[in-house]
Amino acid sequence: MARGRARDKDGKPAGPARRASDRGHYGRLSRERVLTAALDLVDEEGLAALSMRRLGGRLGVEAMALYRYAQGKDALLDGLVEALYLELEERLSTGSVPEGSAAPEGSAAPDGAAWRDELHRIARSMYEVCLAHPHAVPLLSTRMLAVPLARRPLAVLKEQERVLALLRDAGLGQDRTAAVFRAFTGWVLGYISVELRAMVDNPEEEDPAFRLGLHRMPPQELPRLREIAVTLAVRGGPDGLDTGLDALLDRFTGD
């Protein structure tokens, strides 16, 4: 009888057999490589397509090989949130300046009124990250509803720390810092969610009304919504994000 493969204390293949199990189409696996592939899969096919089996097939490994990097579907979803925030951190740390936003030089917290410019830079960078990965955006809400603060990915917590530090360095007290932090987070994620909401009913239609499927909406019950739907279907863009953020900050920080 042929001898079975040698296993380590965790029951995984040992020696050369183990090394082969961790090597996929793109070389040796790592957490970063796994999360990148997962995000690519979601970008192309949506969240419903994500599974350990599908991801393993994409990487050229058995699904079980992925459990070293994500201990199940929920951990994989949290990893996608982590990947979005890591991309945000990369944009901010490399000095990438979204079009139309101000960016103070250096990595130190800005002084004086410049803290508002930095909040705008963070908001616009988050907007760009989310528009680049729209299918993953719902996770920014659903996973935060399911995962306690202390168990969230470090990349998420570090970004929250960045915003809180800006607010405290701006001279806001603890209560006002908490209020502005909640309002800032709610506005940015809410605005992005509205920007990405599904509007088009029939992409092949050229007429805006039929493209949006307004004929499906009862005119007697929804006259105002039907009237403004074509305008609502046009994204507000980063300028709309900025306008709302300024109004919010004026409300909380004005004398």
Give pLDDT tens digits for 215-255: 999 999 999 999 999 999 999 999 999 999 999 999 988 75
HEC per residue, the chain? CCCCCCECCCCCECHHHHHHHCEECCEECCHHHHHHHHHHHHHHHCHHHCCHHHHHHHHCCCHHHHHHCCCCHHHHHHHHHHHHHHHHHHHHHCCCCCCCCCCCCCCCCCCCCHHHHHHHHHHHHHHHHHHHCHHHCCHHHHHHHHCCHHHCCHHHHHHHHHHHHHHHHCCCCHHHHHHHHHHHHHHHHHHHHHHCCCCCCCCCCCCHHHHHCHHHCCCCCCHHHHHHHHHHCCCCHHHHHHHHHHHHHHHHHCC
Walk me through the domains of the chain, giving residue ranges and CATH numbers: 21-71 (1.10.10), 72-253 (1.10.357.10)
Mean pLDDT, rounded, of the chain? 86
Using alpha carbons, select from 163, 187, 201 the residue that is nearest to residue 250. 187
pLDDT value, residue 252: 87
Give the relative orientation of helices 139-146 and 174-195 as an angle to the nearest 10 degrees.
Answer: 130
pLDDT value, residue 113: 73
Residue entry with tokens 């046009």: 234
Determine the residue type at 59. L
Tell me the whole-structure pTM to 2 decimals: 0.81
217, two tokens: 């909406």
Residue range 167-223, pLDDT digits in tens? 999 999 999 999 999 999 999 999 999 999 999 999 999 999 999 999 999 999 999
Work out the average pLDDT over 65-94: 94
